[in-house]
Structure 1
Amino acid sequence: MGLQINTATADPKIEVLADRPAVTRGIAEKLLGVLAEAVEQRGAAHVSLTGGGAGIATLEAVAELLRAGSPALDWSKVFIWWGDERLLPEGDAERNVTQARGALLDYLVAEHGLPAENICPMPTSEEAAHPEAGAQIYAQKLETHSPEHGIEGPNGKLMMPQFDVMLLGVGPDGHINSLFPDKDALAVTGQATTGESDAPAELGPPMRVTLTFDAVHTARRVWTAVTGKDKAEAAASALADGADVSAYPAANARGAEETIWHLDEAAAAELPR
């Protein structure tokens, strides 16, 4: 495929912390600050969540900070989105939204005034018969929160909100969201969402809905949470000069204003010292 990194985006910064709890707590602390600032400055905050071990642990860390008395945030002005989702039934334990509700979102609704309607999950298998239908449904949902004239993407305007933060995990194969190596979804441009019907078998259910690279690149900040020695090779390859996006999609995990890779020492083991 020979896809290139979008060099118009922010170059990645690298933060290496001791272990997964240090990574997830560090991201959680920054996330609360960014969301509060966005609400104060623009009247609303939009965040795109991710699944996976580190992604869900980050949400658990947010809940821990709030329970410990972290400064107040007007959660009624915060909107929750996802970078990808498995096309499975409502409430399925493998859905990212199900795990996020257990880790944080149900608590925010019950205790911190997050309106249930501000949680914007991707479609279920009951709502969409196949991934492309799910992608169209989510594109329509994104459009309802878009600025009037959209936001500028690398291949034209996208009708979607501009995320203040997009959280991303990175798979051992170098994927982000459901953008997997050498798949057609990597080359989709000019739209915010697409479907993936053949995710790698070892990663669970094959049918997914995902945001595209164009959508990723409109986010103000893209932050990865990468932990564990099984991610070390992918992290080093994705962050190497001249990385091949088709082989390591995470090389193109870049935000419009800021890109930060948060790694624990195990995941950073193969980075140049």
Structure 2
Amino acid sequence: MSVQVNTATAEPVTEIFEDQQQLADSVAAKLLTVIKQTVDEEGAAHISLTGGGPGIAVLRSVAALLRTGHAEEPAWAAVHFWWGDERLLPEDDPDRNEKQARDALLDLLVDDFGLPPENIHPVATSEEAATPEAGAEMYAQQLQAYSPTGGISGLHLPQFAVMLLGVGPDGHINSLFPGKQTLQASGRTTVGEEDAPSELGPPLRVTLTFDAVHTARRVWLVTAGESKTEAVTRAFAEDTPVEDIPARNARGAHQTVWHLDRAAAAGL
């Protein structure tokens, strides 16, 4: 198996912060700015969310900015939220990225800021899809419904203004894990994963593919902690195979930014 880094996409740059809180606050402020700018210029903004500690911390920081009035709000009725991956679990399971995001931010946006509930586009639950591949097909259909005419780079999905990505200690992004066949998925937006590593939680997943990631205008990785140092270091080494560290192939069409705390960036 051989997966090449997509060199047609934006070269990665780094922004380094003292700790996870400073990282989360900075990304949150920047995210709100991009959302508002995109809505103002294009009439709608599509954002792909991620789970994990740093990713959910960003959403909490967005909520804090909105509660304190320290942010210029976009027209939330024109904002849509998606996910880069999800665990195939019941709707209210605390391990679902959707559940964590709703608790951190999305329920607040619906209840207090006018986000239409239908603008939240979760991946199928285990009650809705019997298998990851079935869930992947259902999610692909949702994505296609919001695709611009003609698609993007041959794929039918929304034009993501920002795709947030976490990075696992093993170097995975979304549910694209080292050594898995899902890394080779081509010409499609989603794929099912039947056997995620046991140490990373429930094994059944649905994930966006590398091809889908590369259509996002901005790919923002949010990564913190000593447990990520090795993966981050290897992701920036030119001789590291994507099969070993999938995050090496996390790139946006116009911008790729690794937001790191000092612990995660210690090997750079």
TM-score above 0.5, yes or no = yes
- Do structure 1's residue 210 and structure 2's residue 211 form an aligned pair? no
Aligned to 2:67: 67
Q: What SS does the corresponding residue of 1:30 show, helix, strand or coil?
A: helix
**1:239 positional shift:** 1.3
Q: What SS does the corresponding residue of 1:158 show, helix, strand or coil?
A: coil
Aligned to 1:24: 24
* Residues 149-160 of structure 1 mapped to structure 2, 5 A cutoff: 149-152=150-153, 157-160=154-157
Aligned to 1:118: 119
Partners of 2:89 and 2:95 lie apart in 1 by: 8
1:7-53, Cα deviation, whole Å (9 max, x unpaired): 00000011111000011111101000000011011100000000000
Partners of 2:47 and 2:257 lie apart in 1 by: 15
1:223 to 220, 225, 241: 220
Partners of 1:146 and 1:92 lie apart in 2 by: 29
- Do structure 1's residue 143 and structure 2's residue 144 form an aligned pair? yes
- Do structure 1's residue 90 and structure 2's residue 91 form an aligned pair? yes
Aligned to 2:53: 53
Aligned to 2:161: 164
Aligned to 2:253: 256
Q: Structure 2 unaligned segments of length 5 or more: list them.
A: none
**1:71 positional shift:** 1.0
Partners of 2:176 and 2:2 lie apart in 1 by: 15
Aligned to 1:201: 198
**1:243 positional shift:** 2.5
Partners of 1:3 and 1:90 lie apart in 2 by: 34
What letter is aligned with 1:56?
Answer: I
Q: What SS does the corresponding residue of 1:161 show, helix, strand or coil?
A: coil
* Residues 7-22 of structure 1 mapped to structure 2, 5 A cutoff: 7-22=7-22
Percentage identity across paired residues of the two chains: 60
Moved over 6 A (4+): none
Partners of 1:242 and 1:145 lie apart in 2 by: 37
Asked if the contact 2:48/2:164 (under 8 Å) is kept, the reply is yes
Partners of 1:73 and 1:146 lie apart in 2 by: 21
Asked if the contact 2:170/2:245 (under 8 Å) is kept, the reply is yes
Q: How many residues matched?
A: 267
Q: What SS does the corresponding residue of 1:143 show, helix, strand or coil?
A: helix
**1:90 positional shift:** 1.0
What letter is aligned with 2:255?
Answer: E
Partners of 1:178 and 1:14 lie apart in 2 by: 23
**1:242 positional shift:** 3.2
TM-score, scaled to structure 1: 0.97
Partners of 2:136 and 2:247 lie apart in 1 by: 21
What letter is aligned with 2:111?
Answer: A
**1:159 positional shift:** 0.7
Aligned to 1:40: 40
Partners of 1:127 and 1:149 lie apart in 2 by: 29
